[in-house]
């Protein structure tokens, strides 16, 4: 599905990613954890080229998207992204937020997109919010709508960049619930998060990124039960 080879990113003279090689297969749920500043968000943002890598390559569904000649806009249509701060469009209604991209990119007519929006809103449990503006909604509701907005493009891969970090504690659950349902439906997901419970329950594989490299990776049982890397042991002892 998506494959990174020796992925590197440098900001000024600071190396954030120091060579990450990863194969993420269709249907996998990869959870990325690590201390802040370790490069985990940068890694995720490189996957859809919001951050341009300074070295290495990324191959998505057989296309080398790090090539300058790649049409990134087309690639990104197949990769949904959910942000820490939701980034909903504030002057558009919830329905417009969801239907904007599919209609503008001529994937659907307005009627088809509206029907899709209705279906998605039902799925995330907010069918009555179609005509609300994002500013009227709680953080948890906004993030659920941000997920619906990404799903409206029928992506093959969903990227989550700390989707619950900006939420009040009582709203974390409703967002994780949607993500769990999505995982159960077979969506391929890469999730950067601090929610260890989610990682343990949903992940097919957990990556520990530290100082720009994948310091340890394993299926969640082993990862949390018997961590080998001392820095991971230290990290887990602090967060668990």
Considering beta carbons, is residue 76 or 129 the nearer one to other proteins? 76
Residue span binding other proteins (CB under 8 A) among the ranges 81-89, 170-178, 193-201, 221-229? 81-89
Q: Quick one: which of 24, 31, 58, 79 contacts other proteins (CB under 8 A)?
A: 79
**Which of these segments, 16-24, 97-105, 120-128, 173-181, binds other proteins (CB under 8 A)?**
97-105
| Segment near other proteins (CB under 8 A); pick from 54-62, 77-85, 164-172, 204-212 | 77-85
* Binds other proteins by CB under 8 A, chosen from 18, 63, 101, 213: 101
Contact status: 135 vs other proteins (CB under 8 A)? yes
**DSSP structural state of residue 125:** T
- The residues with which 214 forms a beta bridge, in sequence order, are 209
Task: Give the residue with the Cβ less far from other proteins, 11 or 89.
Answer: 89
Q: Which stretch binds other proteins (CB under 8 A): 20-28, 75-83, 119-127, 169-177?
A: 75-83
If one asks whether residue 136 binds other proteins (CB under 8 A), the answer comes out as yes
| Count of residues that bind other proteins according to CB under 8 A | 30
For residue 49, give Cα distances in angstroms to 19, 89, 104: 16, 21, 21
- Report the residue number, 22 or 48, with the smaller CB distance to other proteins: 48
Q: How far is the CB of 90 from other proteins (least distance, A)?
A: 6
Determine whether 97 is exposed, middle or buried from the number of CB atoms within 10 Å of its CB (0-12, 13-18, 19+): buried
Beta-sheet pairing, 188-192 with 157-161 = parallel
Alpha carbon 233 to chain centroid, angstroms: 25
34, 39, 53, 80: residue in contact with other proteins (rule CB under 8 A):
80
Q: Taking Cα atoms as reference points, which of 200, 190, 240 lies closest to residue 220?
A: 200
Classify the phi-psi angles of 154: left when phi > 0, otherwise alpha if psi is within -120 to 50, otherwise beta: left
How far CA 92 is from CA of 81, 99, 134, 195, in Å, comes to: 19, 10, 8, 31
81 binds other proteins (CB under 8 A): yes
Q: How far is CA 39 from CA 15, 61, 139, 159, 209, in A?
A: 9, 24, 25, 15, 7
- In DSSP terms, 217 is beta-bridged to 207
Q: Is 12 in the site for other proteins (CB under 8 A)?
A: no
Which residues are near other proteins by CB under 8 A?
48, 50, 73-81, 83, 85, 87-92, 100-101, 104-105, 133, 135-136, 146, 149-150, 153
């Amino acid at each position: 599905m998506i494959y990174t080879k020796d992925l590197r990113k440098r900001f000024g003279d600071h190396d954030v990613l120091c060579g990450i090689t990863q194969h993420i297969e269709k249907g996998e749920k990869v959870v990325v954890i690590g201390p802040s500043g370790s490069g985990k968000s940068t890694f995720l943002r490189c996957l859809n080229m919001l951050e341009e890598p300074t070295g290495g390559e990324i191959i998505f569904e057989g296309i080398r998207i790090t090539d300058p000649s790649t049409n990134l806009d087309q690639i990104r249509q197949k990769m949904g992204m959910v942000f820490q701060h939701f980034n909903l469009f504030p002057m558009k209604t919830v329905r417009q937020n969801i239907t904007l991209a599919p209609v503008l990119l001529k994937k659907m007519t307005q009627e088809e997109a509206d029907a899709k929006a209705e279906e998605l809103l039902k799925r995330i449990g907010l069918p009555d919010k179609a005509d609300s503006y994002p500013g009227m909604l709680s953080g948890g509701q906004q993030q659920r709508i941000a997920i619906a907005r990404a799903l409206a493009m029928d992506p093959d891969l969903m990227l989550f960049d700390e989707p619950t970090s900006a939420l009040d504690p009582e709203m974390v659950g409703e967002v994780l619930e949607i993500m769990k349902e999505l995982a159960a439906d077979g969506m391929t997901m890469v999730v950067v998060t601090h929610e260890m419970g989610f990682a343990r329950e949903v992940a097919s594989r957990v990556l520990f990124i530290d100082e720009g490299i994948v310091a340890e990776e394993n299926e969640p049982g082993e990862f949390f039960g018997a961590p080998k890397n001392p820095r991971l042991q230290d990290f887990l002892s602090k967060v668990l």
